[in-house]
Structure 1
């Protein structure tokens, strides 16, 4: 089922590694011409256009963009108690981790009388996108809302697709998760039109304002990603998320049934999802292939899983040893990286490129998806080489506050003037001289 790439007996360069490894992805540029008219229409016509596109794409037209408080309250009241308990515990653990990420103002004395402070200011208003599609994602509500709240964001709006099966409102479990987190502004609009409305704002069907946001976070399909690219600059975005991916670095100590289960768990998301095993054990590779045969047939979304696992984005990479395997996973820079080897923690400590690292047999990606306390909004498509997952820092802006008195400025003034002249910007130097009653020479 899984194609194999055999790197044994070779020492590929980084460029060669990146070209040889399984990699899927989607071409966002290919849909920009489709998405651009949607974004432009909503920029001009606001909520009316967003509802028109919702009716066209989702086959339902909610009576308003903003979900009524009574609908949110009802969803919370009717949520299965076991799901409520699980969500509340996930929220509690996420708050523990994200509260520890808060940054405090620091003040550095550069010279006597001269300080530079760094103050962390929350983004004022944030739009949090929660997808629909193949599954229901209350966990995405938690992963987006909790760090924003811990950062101190003033107002949050969650946007999620309207659902014909639920009266034109987002899925009740999404609404219930919002209620548990204290989010009372939820918009029944998804896809590219949802992103565009978050960026540009509009007026709801009852005439109330739908204020635009300053930052949009959250995953979505290729059309959502394209819309985020098109509104970037009007607002900030967290990232351009691609299909989900898992890489597993394993040796012959790994349980093939566990490895197979983890590969399937990511393939379950989407036919474009990537599942990659990197191992120095041919015996493990063979055993995993064998375990997949029965496990794929038995899983609920077997056709989706089978398509993902047989795609060019998935496969097994054979290497000479774990050192070579580390080079491979660093070149791949997976969204999710599991380490299932001897001394798994020691091996994990040597990884330099991954969105999140899951150590040992008992730290599966599924745990991180829901209840580890970590965030599951992570860099994809190799962007973990330079990007981080969603965190409190995503919602903060570091602002320097420069405070020099007269003596401190006088002490450095000549050097500032020298540098200004060196850059042929003499007015910069004159701005310093003017403070001491000097004129241009």
Structure 2
């Protein structure tokens, strides 16, 4: 894989690879403009030469609304040699690799989607781009406890089965899935809406740094490019493009998650959705796409069997999940007491205060606390904040 554009006498060599990077660099192109120009001229060098030459041919492109006048002005004022030298230095200094549509290692999954990205800038383990099975997981930036729990348990179960987890490293479900994949020693890819050298949002700094070392960051935007809302819809097509299917965990009817779903449908990808309560705004989007034909999944097994087959689901994996006291892929039949079973029946995916459990069960404080700690050690419940409990994945998802 060629990772850095060659430098010829301090200026850009007019190769197809470099011209693809130059086309990607021009910011005023609409997403479809580059694809249309490549179809008209056949290759990136011919596009570069035609646009740089200007004149009547470019005037006709503007008149036919293939490109915008503002794009012509940007090209005329652009110094590709200065840009190229700076990009080369950035790639070298920041250990970022560039992969163009012209390179043999460019992923086949992206080649044939509408408006395939001309360039992928990558930081981290670039070998992660070669995988057999990949699942995109997307959802709300402000998930409920239920959403976080489902994202965590589904991701861990899928990652230990060798499925690469793909998401956008946004707050909420995206970040939870990346973190869960890392905790499972699984593979995960984050597709960013800006340069891979910039952490966004800053609240994900720890995850970002860990992914630079142990996972893969991908973007069609150059190093130093800001992460802005205008970029995110374009980013979403790459998430779905790299994925064999999309899993939706909590989403409103109108959201960036639904844009990813639309892209996936356009790309003929499988859509999975975790159902939610009908009274929850964050369940409106997921429940709606289930009504429209998305596969309802209430267990990672549904996805594992569909993607890998029944045999893969029953195959035991020896990988231990970091940060968990249980192996998330193996269920042990624990003998629970009558009191413990009763306590489990009172819990769900919203936090319940210990005092409410004590009153409802007519149990004394020490007995309740003892049983809750035992259930937590067995992996059936999880303590969040002080004296609040929710169900854990062992009793529900896995």
Q: Same fold (TM over 0.5)?
A: no
Structure with higher RCO (Cα < 8 A, 6+ apart): 1
Give TM-score scaled by structure 1 length.
0.26
Structure 2 length normalisation: TM-score? 0.29
